[in-house]
């Protein structure tokens, strides 16, 4: 009679568990990627509603709070920045010029949103670059999270109806800003 050999069950169970663990890790990594829904919609020519319109943020260097909904009817260039961010320094003159264009035309404003920065450092940055546009303090980065902002700088151009029409995830150029403002003003 032949001897029946039993395969050990332990290696099979270990193999199944290892495969399950790898699948879970792949799912976890894929699931925590960037949410590009807003970006994808804008790239497809859509104008999605801007997130966080009713979220109040404390003003930087002045009393009170501001929410994007307060600016309905105006073009808003929402820029997330910090004093420690080198690309933020490089783009500050472009944002100031955009603010001057919008206020001169009476069509809108730039609104800065500080990201993990102190009041003192943020106000020093504004003085250094002679920025006249308002900023709010996004101390807990709740507003930034609404926009999927994790790295700086990031800029979102909103039309007068509070819809996102242009996005720059990274340092903006004058060319980007001109195109975005032309598009926003043409939609008025």
**Domain boundaries of the chain, sorted by first residue:** 37-186
Domain 37-186 in CATH 2.30.110.10? The answer is: no
What is the tens place of the pLDDT at every residue in 1-45? 555 556 566 565 555 544 544 444 443 433 434 557 899 999 999
Residue 87 pLDDT level (bands cut at 50, 70, 90): very high
> Strand, coil or helix: what is 75?
strand
Least confident of 12-16, 88-92, 103-107, 135-139: 12-16
108-125 residues labelled b (16+ CB within 10 A) or e (exposed) = bbbbbbbbebeeeebbeb
Work out the average pLDDT over 113-124.
96
Q: How many CA atoms lie less than 13 Å away from 82 in the CB half-sphere?
A: 15
* Whole-angstrom Cα Rg for the chain: 24
- 76 forms beta bridges with 109, 158
Tell me the pLDDT band of 161, cut-offs 50, 70 and 90: very high
> What counts of helices (H) and strands (E) characterise the chain?
6, 7
Q: How far is 111 from 131, CA to CA, in rounded Å?
A: 11
Q: Is the pLDDT of residue 151 over 50?
A: yes
Band of pLDDT at residue 101, cut at 50, 70 and 90? very high
pLDDT at 28: 41
Please give the residue that has the higher pLDDT: either 20 or 96: 96
Q: Are 61 and 118 in contact (CB under 8 A)?
A: no
C-alpha 158/C-alpha 60 separation (Å) is: 21
């Amino acid at each position: 009679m032949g001897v029946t050999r039993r395969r050990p069950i332990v290696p099979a169970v270990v193999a199944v568990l290892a495969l399950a663990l790898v699948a879970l890790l792949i799912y976890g990594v894929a699931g925590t990627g960037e949410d590009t829904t807003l970006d994808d919609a804008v790239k497809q020519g859509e104008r999605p509603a801007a997130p966080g319109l009713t979220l109040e943020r404390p003003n930087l260097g002045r009393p009170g709070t501001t929410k994007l909904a307060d600016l309905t009817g105006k073009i808003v260039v929402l820029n997330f920045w910090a004093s420690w961010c080198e690309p933020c320094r490089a783009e500050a003159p472009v944002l100031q010029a955009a603010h001057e264009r919008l206020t001169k035309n009476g069509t809108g404003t730039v609104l800065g949103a500080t990201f993990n920065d102190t009041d003192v450092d943020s106000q020093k940055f504004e003085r250094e670059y002679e920025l006249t546009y308002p900023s709010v303090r996004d101390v807990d980065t709740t507003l930034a999270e609404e926009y999927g902002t994790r790295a700086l700088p990031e800029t979102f151009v909103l039309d007068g109806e509070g819809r996102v029409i242009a996005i720059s995830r990274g340092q903006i150029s004058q060319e980007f800003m001109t195109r975005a403002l032309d598009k926003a003003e043409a939609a008025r």
